[in-house]
Amino acid sequence: MAVMLPLRLAAADFCAVYLNIIDSHGKPTDAPVELIDQDGHVETSLIAHGKASICDIGFGPHTIRIGTDKCSGYVTIHGVSLVHGFSRTFTAVWDGCPTGVDMMTLPPSCQVAFRVTSPDGKKLIEAEATKEGDATKYHADSYGRFFLAVRNGAAKNFTFSAPGYVDTVVHLSCKRYENIEKSVQLTPK
């Protein structure tokens, strides 16, 4: 008489998701990573060092969020679901939180962007700017923008002018390695 023993069939293990996280130069970068379920609960939170794997995810669609709500924001991958036996691989580009050191800002300073417009929103491409203590005249680009710097811990006045408009002075202070963006509206004479 033969005895039949039940066979246990085990499924092969696999990781649901593999992540490659690179910066805009193609180099692996560290980044916070969260796996968020369809109800908005964070299932997994980890720090990826260029690569990460999330092997066990719950049922239903998930969101993978890479980055932080500060500086450069998130890279988000939506609709990631568990598929039996199939690993998904994603590559995300995230530049982290650049600081003055990362951007090689010398001397140490805040990066300042101004956009100069008229009251009706016209970009004033003929605008000029001067910075307190600096004799240089800066000229707007074709979008009415200026990209300047203020040393860490300093405060400066910027004077904006354009033909047919009243000069406007904007006071700006830099704490430490901030990215500062200001809109400047010039009033017609």
Read off the pLDDT of residues 65-84 as tens digits, 9 standing for 90 and up: 998 776 667 899 999 998 88
Read off the pLDDT of residues 125-175 as tens digits, 9 standing for 90 and up: 999 999 998 888 999 999 999 988 888 889 999 999 999 999 999 999 998
Read off the pLDDT of residues 98-116 as tens digits, 9 standing for 90 and up: 554 445 455 678 889 999 9
Q: Are the folds of 17-93 and 109-185 the same? A: yes
CB 130 within 8 A of CB 138: yes
Which residue ranges make up each domain of the chain?
17-93, 109-185
Ranges 27-36, 66-75, 115-124: which has the least confidence:
66-75
Tokens linked to 19: 């992540």
Domain 109-185: top CATH class: mainly beta
CATH superfamily of 17-93: Carboxypeptidase-like, regulatory domain (2.60.40.1120)
